[in-house]
């Protein structure tokens, strides 16, 4: 673990303290325009903090996060989907990610890092300013504290899985220079676990009206369980997942196909999803462009699209009776080519789909609970519960696979296109072998487990950040 305090004069953790993401793009807006107000007089009222926490949610929806880049780094990185935009020109950077040849100067890497820390900085400011605020509704302030801790934890989880050893910044930054620690991922996971334990206590089990879609106690417990699994703490993970199950807030949607589409958003299976809204206000999503060729309005990579194809490999893993195959996860284009249909939506403006992105759903909890239990009858039963919803009548054990192999295969079938495959391969310890077997010109030694730290961050603080193996 890197423990030496390091001074980092960089945009990474300095400017984001004074900005907040307020759209679903990569642009940031000063919270307090000089002509009207500044940060010192902004964080005072209930309304101020509502605006601020909504900005933090927008950070999750932005292109640097779930809006696009996590899809490239956690799904296209795997054997599930591939870059369908060509391998030259602007698409070369995408192809490099898919083949473990990405450069530390790649914009996707730089924007994911900087955007993630911008969102973290926004939550740090909220958490700091809540301590001095005299709100009309103190209960709202406590809920917002829980939301900020959840959002910060979710971003830190994604950054740690993606980059490994990263800076840990928990305080609001108010100076043009900042002392930070570059710490191991395990330290990040410990901090997340502590924050989520607090968040779970502060957050409600559910919402009504316009607040539907905000982080709940169930979302905090689900993320906590995932982080504990990632850290190798199966007992703590089990406890978190059992709280979700015992809350009786969630259940599997009977028909797998009914999970997807704008009309099915925030359903009984949904635990946390990124909210998008079409209408030309910059709050729509781009998933229809990315995955649905016949429905997409935008052009190729040069027009901002990052077209994603499904691999031949993933199309072979579904039994003929599996509802998660054709008609569930996949559809056919006009040319009879298979594509991922989970994000189909009708839209009239480019990158303005009404479809949400599901981060956590109840099927994930059931399978992660099985993972935390290991090779036990209860764990096999949990796998079968998910399989039965997919229309499969044979038990998972009848496949003749070992427990880990069977569970990983079931997760692949259930969550294709949901940004879980690469983190799953890492967590199960099989990423090098799986990807070397999948890519014809890639060996086990070629498979990078971590993305490089952006070169511009290294250049901003020469010798002060340790680069990942290239």
- Rounded to the nearest integer, the mean pLDDT of the chain is 91
- pLDDT reading at 233 higher than 80: yes
pLDDT band at 462 (very low <50, low <70, confident <90, very high): confident
Separation of alpha carbons 254 and 422, rounded Å = 27
Same domain, 53 and 162: yes
Tokens linked to 437: 């077997």
Length of the chain (residues):
470
pLDDT band at 40 (very low <50, low <70, confident <90, very high): low
Tokens linked to 465: 């950040």
- pLDDT reading at 96 higher than 90: yes
CA 66 to chain centre: 5
- Cα–Cα nearest to 331, from 233, 234, 261: 261
pLDDT at 35: 31
Rounded average pLDDT over 112-127: 97
Domain boundary among 301, 321, 352: 352
Residue 170, domain member (yes or no): yes
Same domain, 27 and 157: yes
Domain with 338, as residue range(s), is: 276-352
Same domain, 342 and 437: no
183 or 9: which leads in pLDDT: 183
CA 362 to chain centre: 16
- pLDDT reading at 228 higher than 60: yes
Only one residue has tokens 């969102």, namely 119
Separation of alpha carbons 326 and 318, rounded Å = 9
pLDDT > 90 in the chain, percent: 84
Only one residue has tokens 């997409």, namely 296
Per residue in 346-386, pLDDT tens?
Answer: 999 999 999 999 999 999 999 999 999 999 999 999 999 99
pLDDT band at 296 (very low <50, low <70, confident <90, very high): confident
Rounded average pLDDT over 115-137: 95
Residue 81, domain member (yes or no): yes
- pLDDT reading at 23 higher than 80: no
How many CA atoms are closer than 13 Å to the CA of 270, on its beta-carbon side?
23
Separation of alpha carbons 133 and 119, rounded Å = 21
Same domain, 44 and 169: yes
Beta-strand pair 270-274/357-361: antiparallel
Backbone angles phi, psi at 308, to 5 degrees: -115, 125
Residue 40, domain member (yes or no): yes
Domain boundary among 352, 376, 406: 352
Same domain, 44 and 133: yes
Same domain, 295 and 175: no
Separation of alpha carbons 28 and 33, rounded Å = 12
Same domain, 348 and 435: no
Backbone angles phi, psi at 340, to 5 degrees: -75, 120
Same domain, 446 and 340: no
pLDDT band at 20 (very low <50, low <70, confident <90, very high): very low
pLDDT at 268: 98
Same domain, 77 and 174: yes
Q: Record the pTM.
A: 0.93
Could you tell me if 348 and 118 are in contact, meaning their C-beta atoms sit under 8 angstroms apart? no
Domain boundary among 352, 373, 391: 352
pLDDT at 132: 87
- pLDDT reading at 34 higher than 50: no
Per residue in 422-453, pLDDT tens?
Answer: 999 999 999 999 999 999 999 999 999 999 99
Same domain, 168 and 22: yes
Min mean pLDDT across 31-40, 294-303, 365-374, 410-419 is at 31-40
Residue 398, domain member (yes or no): no
- pLDDT reading at 39 higher than 60: yes
- Per the structure, how many domains does the chain have? 2
Tokens linked to 48: 């101020």
pLDDT at 379: 98
pLDDT at 461: 79
Residue 188, domain member (yes or no): no
Rounded average pLDDT over 57-73: 98
Could you tell me if 306 and 290 are in contact, meaning their C-beta atoms sit under 8 angstroms apart? yes
Same domain, 173 and 303: no
pLDDT at 330: 97
Residue 456, domain member (yes or no): yes
Residue 330, domain member (yes or no): yes
- CATH number of the domain where residue 125 is located: 1.25.40.390
Rounded average pLDDT over 394-417: 98
Residue 435, domain member (yes or no): yes
């Amino acid at each position: 673990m890197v423990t030496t305090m390091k001074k980092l004069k960089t945009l990474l953790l300095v400017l984001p303290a004074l900005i907040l993401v307020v759209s679903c793009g990569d642009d940031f807006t000063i919270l307090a325009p000089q002509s009207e107000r500044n940060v010192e007089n902004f964080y005072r009222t209930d309304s101020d903090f509502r605006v601020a926490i909504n900005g933090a949610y927008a950070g999750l929806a932005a292109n640097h996060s779930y809006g696009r880049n996590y899809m490239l780094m956690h799904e296209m990185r795997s054997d599930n989907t591939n870059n369908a935009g060509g391998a030259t020109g602007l698409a070369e950077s995408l192809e490099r990610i898919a083949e473990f040849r990405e450069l530390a100067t790649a914009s996707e890497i730089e924007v994911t890092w900087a955007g993630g820390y911008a969102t973290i900085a926004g939550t740090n400011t909220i958490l700091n300013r809540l301590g001095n605020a005299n709100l009309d509704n103190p209960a709202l302030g406590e809920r917002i504290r829980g939301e900020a801790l959840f959002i910060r934890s979710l971003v830190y989880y994604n950054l740690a899985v993606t980059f490994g050893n990263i800076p840990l910044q928990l305080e609001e930054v108010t100076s043009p220079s900042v002392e930070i620690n570059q710490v191991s991922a395990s330290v990040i996971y410990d901090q997340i676990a502590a924050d989520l334990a607090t968040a779970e206590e502060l957050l409600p089990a559910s919402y009504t009206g316009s607040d539907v879609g905000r982080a709940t106690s169930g979302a905090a417990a689900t993320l906590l369980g995932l982080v504990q699994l990632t850290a190798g703490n199966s007992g703590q993970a089990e406890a978190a997942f059992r709280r979700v199950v015992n809350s009786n807030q969630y259940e599997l949607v009977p028909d797998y196909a009914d999970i997807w589409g704008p009309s099915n958003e925030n359903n009984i299976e949904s635990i946390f999803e990124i909210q998008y809204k079409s209408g030309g206000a910059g709050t729509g999503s781009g998933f229809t462009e990315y995955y649905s060729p016949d429905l997409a309005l935008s052009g190729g990579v040069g027009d901002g699209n990052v077209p994603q194809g499904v691999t031949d490999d993933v199309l072979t893993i579904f039994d003929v009776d599996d509802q998660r195959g054709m008609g569930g996860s996949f559809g056919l284009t006009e040319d009879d080519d298979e594509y991922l249909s989970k994000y189909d939506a009708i839209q009239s403006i480019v990158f303005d789909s009404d479809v949400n992105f599901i981060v956590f759903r109840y099927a994930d909890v059931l399978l992660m609970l099985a993972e935390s239990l290991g090779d036990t009858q209860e764990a096999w039963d949990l796998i079968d519960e998910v399989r039965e919803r997919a229309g499969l009548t044979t038990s998972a054990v009848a496949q003749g696979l070992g427990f880990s192999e069977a569970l990983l295969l079931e997760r692949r079938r259930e969550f294709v296109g949901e940004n879980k495959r690469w983190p799953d391969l890492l967590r199960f310890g099989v990423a090098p072998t799986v990807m070397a077997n999948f890519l014809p010109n890639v060996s086990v030694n070629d498979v990078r487990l971590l993305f490089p730290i952006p070169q511009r961050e290294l250049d901003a603080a020469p010798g002060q950040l340790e680069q990942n193996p290239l």
